[in-house]
Amino acid sequence: MTDEEKMTLLAGWLLDQRAAYPAEGIDGGDLQDALEKYGFLGEFKATEPCFDNCECAEFGFPSSCYRQTGLGTQVRRAYQAMEKASRS
């Protein structure tokens, strides 16, 4: 599956969720699952905190941690640059 197809699938999923649950919004767990499914997040097995305010620490170790993939980082950086340019 191409990166463009993954982005299209995620955008379609977001729109479907918004249409299905207009008052409630999108559930964070469901969003995390979709981001992983479409390749924007990847599961990582953490055995210790990765930084001072590591959110995984509250669950104990070992723990499953979700981090941005290369695609997630690329898309987020592109979004940030486009948002910055649109405010200029």
Tens digit of each residue's pLDDT (9 = 90 or more) over 10-45: 999 999 999 988 888 889 999 999 999 999 999 999
Judge whether residue 4 has pLDDT over 90: yes
Check which CATH number belongs to the domain holding 66 and give it: 1.10.10
pLDDT for res 31: 95
Q: How many structural domains comprise the chain?
A: 1
Average pLDDT of the chain, as a whole number: 91
| Matching residue, tokens 């979709």 | 34
Buried b (16+ CB within 10 A) or exposed e, 53-88: eeebeeeeeebebbeebebbeebeeeeeeeeeeeee
* Residue 50 structural domain: 3-87
Q: Quote the radius of gyration of the chain (alpha carbons, Å).
A: 15
